[in-house]
Amino acid sequence: MKRIAVYPGSFDPTTFGHLDIISRSSKIFDKLIIAVITNPNKKPYFSIDERVKILKSSVKEKNVEIESFHGLLVDFMKKKNANVIIRGLRAISDFEYEFQMALTNRKLYPEIETVFLTPAEQWTYLSSTLVKEIARLGGNVKCFVPEIVVKIFKNKR
């Protein structure tokens, strides 16, 4: 049986931290599906099409698929025959929210497991929010995100 994992997130935008987690998890699972979520509680800076396009041009691993989705993650997972959720853990500050999500998803769908991966040290402080803040203030974000993100930021200004 194929081991299929789903890495859900806003990816608004994709950073080198996300790409690090994608690379690590693609080595552990037969197939990794990146599920780009439209979170009704967050107003994204990048449109869903932009976020998917960024990922498609930045992810090089062959066993990775990229899709957008709305609705319940567990329903998406059932449809895809996936039973592992990948999440990135950076600092203690991520823990409380991630712990709550993992246990809630388990309640909704007991067969799934959430697997937490930690990125390379240099990305442990990096977040999409931080990148947007720097870009908005005119700073250079080249060392945090793929080139395509830098370009889209420039076009939006």
Active centre residues (catalytic): 18, 42, 90, 128
Shorter beta-carbon distance to ligand ADP: residue 4 or 88: 88
Contact stretch for ligand ADP (CB under 6 A) within 55-63, 105-113, 124-132, 147-155? 124-132
Residues 6+ apart with CB under 8 A from 104: none
123 touches ligand ADP (CB under 6 A): yes
Strands of 10-54 (E only): list them: 31-37
**Rg of the chain over all Cα atoms, to the nearest angstrom:** 15
Shorter beta-carbon distance to ligand ADP: residue 3 or 125: 125
Minimum CB distance to ligand ADP, residue 121 (Å): 10
18 touches ligand ADP (CB under 6 A): yes
User: DSSP assignment, residue 68?
Assistant: E
- In the complex, the residues that contact ligand ADP under the rule CB under 6 A are 9-11, 15, 17-18, 21, 39, 87-88, 90, 94, 119, 123, 126-128
